[in-house]
Structure 1
Amino acid sequence: MIKRLLIVIPSYNEETALPKLLYEIKATTFLHSFVVVPVVVNDCSKDNTEAVAKASGETVVSLVNNLGIGGAVQAGIKYAKRNGFDYVLQMDGDGQHPPSEVNKLLQAALDTNADVIIGSRFLNKEGFQTSLIRRFGIKYFHWLNRILTHKSVHDTTSGFRLLGARAIKLAAAYYPDDYPEPESLIFFSRAGLTIKEVPVVMRERQGGKSSIAGFSTLFYMTKVTLSSILSYVRKI
């Protein structure tokens, strides 16, 4: 049975990396059991992100206000739910997630029937492993997630993830606003969804600038910690 997959690409000021990423998606041969449709969610970018996305011929959803990564991803998830897609794949607009790795997540979904599939940099430790300070933060969130959910997810901050029907339904109704990856895993776990990790190879961002650098790293860790704890105690 053919499944419909929506690739949601949240993008804020990604005019440099986005054209290459969209070209790679077009050039990729995905598993034959999937019909793949990319959509770029332009999060009120200040550069030419919207123009280069439209020039590629792909569907573009342009937000009138900047919602942050979580709001942009949720906009794509709502689009998928409204249009009857079976799966949503989140792929960052900065080019860190090679389209050639997508089939690993799709095959894992077919093999395990898990609700959420996480593409992990750290299972096989191949490809770009990010900076030392970020690896420390990721390990910290690994243990925080383990304490709160009793589940072990090594790459909790990975934005390379596949959502099935149950996860789409939940995330369309609620999804964390800023830096949603670690918190959403706690939310999904508490809702009884199954979460699996598969090893993938990632690369450095292909353009643009990260919103998490320098002092903002400490702010990020503090905010996500508090949000994760609140997500753990909130009613679902």
Structure 2
Amino acid sequence: MAPPVARTLIVVPAYNESAAVGDVIRAVHASVPDADCLVVDDASADDTAAVAAAAGARVMRLPVNLGVGGVMRAGYRWASEQGYDVVVQVDGDGQHPAEDIPALIAGLDEADIVIGARFAGTEGVGVSWPRRVAMWILARTLSRVARTRLTDTTSGFKAAGPRAVRLFARTYPAEYLGDTIEALVLAARAGLVVRQRPVAMRERQGGTPSQSTVRATAHLMRACLALCIALTKPRVGADPRPARAMAKAGVA
């Protein structure tokens, strides 16, 4: 008997992304037509939710702004409740190339989490030295924690397989930088396998960037601090049961 086809959910965190989110959803549907798309609107002040719904996505509207960590926690919990096996995070600003989603999903045959890495093979190119140092510290430390070479530890473009979906539905960190740094630490220390695949990120397709070069550098410095804090937290075990078994058991 053939194994069941994995149910895939694309989760799109979106905050005031009405200018780009429609194109993102259409690109997702073109690249992975069998996947469902859930846009989690993080209390946007524009018509992000309406644009997303018109483009064919399911929409979850949050009453207050929670940040990406809170958005993804909601997305993972919903995915778990609905019995999805795979969750792929794709930002709503158009920077993540939807055509690379199938490659990330294919990587789940050998891993629990696959990161779309911007800097694989080109670390530090065109990057200021403070940011380069912070990136090096994050990559070096998390590579040791995950026991694999990682270069883009703050990438939000990633695919999670069944064990990761179950873990994140219960424990996904919602604090500052929890969606990237702490989530990887949590997964690696729970025994999940983390890998990366190179992708070519694009410029945001609409809206206003949230960080200048100086703020982006400060962000990476704070990420180093967040990493130190994450490493002091207790380990959390992964639930080995498949997604559908968990959904039938009523586990959120």
Q: Which TM-score band (shorter chain)?
A: 0.7 to 0.9
User: What is the letter of the counterpart of residue 180 of structure 2?
Assistant: E
Segments of 5+ residues of structure 1 without an aligned counterpart are none
| 1:147 CA displacement | 5.2
State which drifts further: 151-160 or 204-213. Answer: 204-213
Following superposition of structure 1 onto structure 2, how do residues 172-211 of structure 1 map, counting pairs within 5 Å?
Answer: 172-177=169-174, 178-179=176-177, 180-211=179-210
Normalised to the residue count of structure 2, the TM-score between the two structures is 0.82
Q: C-alpha deviations, 1:125-159, integer Å up to 9, x for none?
A: 5xxx9962455543332123235555421110111
Does 2:141 align with 1:144?
Answer: yes
Counterparts of 1:195 and 1:161 in 2: how far apart (Å)?
10
Equivalent residues of 2:119, 2:151 under 8 A apart:
yes
- Counterpart in the other structure of 1:63: 62
For the Cα contact (< 8 Å) 1:18–1:93, is it kept in 2? yes
Mapped partners of 2:125, 2:25: distance in 1? 23
Amino acid at match of 1:146: S
Q: Distance in 1 between matches of 2:159 and 2:107?
A: 10
Give the distance between the partners of 2:104 and 2:38, measured in 1 at CA.
Answer: 18
Within the alignment, does 1:15 sit opposite 2:12 as a pair? no
CA contact (8 A) 2:116 2:198 kept: yes
Shift of 1:120: 1.2
Given the superposition, is the C-alpha separation of residues 225 and 122 from structure 1 closer, same or farther in structure 2, using an over 3 Å criterion? closer
Aligned to 1:106: 105
Report the equivalent of 1:36.
35
> 2:245 corresponds to which residue?
none
* 1:216 corresponding residue in structure 2: 215
Q: CA deviation at 1:226?
A: 2.5
Amino acid at match of 2:191: G
Give the SS at the match of 2:35. strand
List gaps (5 residues or longer) in structure 2.
Answer: 237-252
Aligned length: 228
1:190–1:232: 8 Å Cα contact kept in structure 2? no
Please say if 1:3 is aligned against 2:6: yes
Could you say what the CA RMSD is over the residues aligned between the two structures, in angstroms?
2.3
Runs of 4+ in 1 over 6 A off after TM superposition: none
1:108 Cα deviation after fit: 1.3
Which range moved further: 142-151 or 57-66? 142-151
1:143-198 deviation line (CA, Å, top 9, x unaligned)? 23235555421110111101111111221122222232122111111111100111
Question: What amino acid does structure 2 have at the position aligned with 1:171?
Answer: F
**8 Å contact 2:146–2:193 — kept in the other structure?**
no
Residue 51 of structure 2 corresponds to 52
Looking at structure 2, the residues matched to 159 and 87 of structure 1 have their Cα atoms a distance apart, in angstroms, of 15
What is the SS of the residue equivalent to 1:3?
A: coil
Give 1:104 deviation, angstroms: 0.8
Query: Counterparts of 1:200 and 1:149 in 2: how far apart (Å)?
Result: 20
Report if aligned partners of 1:183, 1:224 keep a CA contact under 8 Å in 2: no
Range with bigger deviation, 2-11 or 226-235? 226-235
- Closer/same/farther in 2, CA of residues 97 and 214 from structure 1, 3 Å limit: closer
Q: 2:244 maps to which residue?
A: none
- Give the secondary structure class of the aligned counterpart of 2:60: strand
- For residues 218 and 124 of structure 1, the distance between their equivalents in structure 2, rounded to whole angstroms, comes to 21
1:121 corresponds in structure 2 to 118
Which residue identity does 1:209 align to in structure 2? T
